[in-house]
Each structure stands twice: as C-alpha cells, then as structure tokens.
Amino acid sequence: MLTKERYSIKDMVIWTRKETIFFLVYTFLITVMYEVFGFTFLEIPWTPVALIGTAVAFILGFQNDAAYGRIWEARKIWGGIVNSSRSWGMKVKDMVTNEHCSTSISSEEVHQHIKTLNYRHFAWLTALRHAMREPRKWEIFEKHKTNREWSRKAHIPERESTLEDDLSDYLETDELKYVLSKNNKAAALLYMQSKHIRELKEKLLIWEFAFLSLENLLEELFTLQGKIERIKNFPYPRQYASLSNYFVWTFLLLLPLGLVPEFADIDEGLLVDFPKIGSMFIWLVVPFCGIVSWVFHTMMRIGTVGENPFEGSANDVPISTISRAIEIDMRQLLDEDEEIIPKQFPEEYDVQM
C-alpha cells in the first residue's frame, strides 16, 4: 500500500516505460510515413476514433471501479481481523483464570494457557497471510516484466521465508506437524483454538459464558477468513479483463492514424501566418499521442493489478504489515519484553507490504 504521494508519478512512468516507448516510436513512424513519404492513406476519420475512445474510457472506468471495490472490501475485512484479534487477546487474558478451577493450578500455568492461545492466534495470522500470497493460475501480476522487477525490489515477507519457519516461532513441534499436514492451515489452527478452550471449560479455567463468548469470536474469525478466501479464490471475470485489454489496444493503435491527419490540417492552417511554427507543428503529435496513450494504458494496468489485492503490488492490501502490527500490539499487552517482540516489516520504497 502506498504511503506517500511522491511515489506515484515517478514510479508509474518507470513502471510503464516499455509501453510508453512503444507508443512514442509507433506514433513517430506513422508521422514519418504520413509527412515525409506521403502515405496519406494512413488516415482514419477522427470521429470513429473518438467514439471508440469514449467507449474505452467507460470500460476502463468500470474495470477500475470493480478492482478498487475488491481492494477496499479486502481492506475492510482485514480491519475486521484487527478488531477481532484485539478482542481475542483481551478476552483470553481476562477470562482464563484459576478462580473457579476444580483442581489446583498455578498462576504460571494459567499464564501459559493464555500465551498458547495468543501465540496460536499469531500462527493463524501467519498462515492466513501466507495463503493469501500463494499464486493462482489466473493472477497475472508476475507475468509482466516491470511487475517482476517490483517484486524483486519489494522483498515480500512471505517470499523471503517459508510458512514452516514462520509457524515454528509460535507452535510446538507436534502442533506444527499437525497444521502442516492440512490443506487449509489457517482453519486447522482455529479448530485447535476451539478444542483448547473447550478443555479449559471442562477444567473450569473458563466459565460457561466466557466459553460461548470465545467460541463466537472464533466463529467471527472463521467468517472473516472465508470472506478473504472468497476474494482470493474468485477472480475478476476474465471476459471483462480480456475485452478491456483488447479494446484499449485497438484504440491506442488507431489513435495515431486519427490524430496525425488532424495535426496535419492544423499545420497547414498555421503555415500562412506562422510558417516556422506551422512547418513543425505536425511533429507535436508524437508527444501528444504518447501522453494520451500513456494515460489510457496506465489506467488499464492499474485496474489489472488491482484485480487481485494480495499478490504483493504497491497498491495491494498490506497484509504482512497488518498482521505484524496485530502481533506487536497483543504481545505488548501480554507485558512481554520489548527485546523479544518482533519488529515491524520495513517499508520498501515508501510502500507497506
């Protein structure tokens, strides 16, 4: 997720440099063929080109609106995870107590139960963010060269370490082995949480109402996980994405053929009163057409990378940062030593991961 405005224009130009160079060279060649070699048949009436451009603008608007909707929904769901996580930490800390325990149990043992329930929640967050970073065959972010360049520079945490290594910080060996044997590792961790609090209820370490409250919270976490998985596993309909790509490129390839004759007509009009300017005016079509093409193509690229908000692009939901922030907050509220609490993931190029 972008954290500073200064990132946008500079890096977008770098991000789209390959296509921008193509648009400039393509328009220059059309202009040379029209103006120098007299290939005046390379001419399309401007009205149909403008109509196509208007239609493409509507299509891009629909695509970007849909992509932003997916990103915003994902961000709201992760906001719900933040709130539910804090509630989990608070309730576990206050509801797990030996006040009514049927058998004698020390405060240290109670604290260990609290720590285990919290650490298993950190493991759930870790498993969830790793699952969200797993590639799907319909995701296309890594297929573009400049996107791969960003991925290499960004150092996405889930690609820097394995899930097993990350989970080993929170789980015992037998629990880790059990979780890794399941396809849906995040769901397995929530099942383990439910089993644990049921055992605590049976030992009267938590009372009936507290048990129901914690179970309801686990149900909420299941709901939030399901919503996140729905966004991850249900792609933006490819028919819309593909048609948008075809229409945009059709418009961009026709654009110089419609603009060059228009600039040539203006050029002839200027020759009478401003001969020096008029003789060179037609060449301004190259930067002008390049700018228009860059705007349309960049809007299409932004919409495309926004379709899947967990691939690791600069505009994605920063799930790694959010998860680590939750862990830091909860471990501080457990009064752990600051030296053993992990640090927040660093921002890369003013972007949170």
Q: Given this model, what pLDDT does residue 4 score?
A: 43
For Cα atoms 292, 293, 298, give the angle at the middle one, nearest 5 degrees.
Answer: 105
pLDDT in tens, 30-79: 999 988 888 877 788 888 999 999 999 998 998 889 888 989 999 999 99
Q: Given this model, what pLDDT does residue 278 score?
A: 59
pLDDT in tens, 87-129: 999 999 999 988 877 677 888 898 999 999 999 999 999 999 9
8-state DSSP, 55: H
pLDDT in tens, 244-276: 888 999 999 999 999 888 888 776 666 666 666
Q: Given this model, what pLDDT does residue 6 score?
A: 42
Q: Name the residue type at position 323.
A: S
8-state DSSP, 324: H
- 277 or 88: which leads in pLDDT: 88
Please state, as a whole number, how many other Cβ atoms lie within 10 Å of the Cβ of residue 7.
14
Residue 5 pLDDT level (bands cut at 50, 70, 90)? very low
Whether residue 314 has pLDDT greater than 50: yes
pLDDT in tens, 130-184: 999 998 887 777 677 766 666 677 778 888 899 999 999 999 999 999 999 999 9
On whether the CB atoms of residues 93 and 334 are closer than 8 A, the answer is yes
Alpha helices for the chain (secondary structure H): 7-15, 17-35, 46-95, 107-133, 145-154, 157-160, 163-167, 173-180, 185-202, 208-233, 238-273, 275-281, 285-305, 319-333
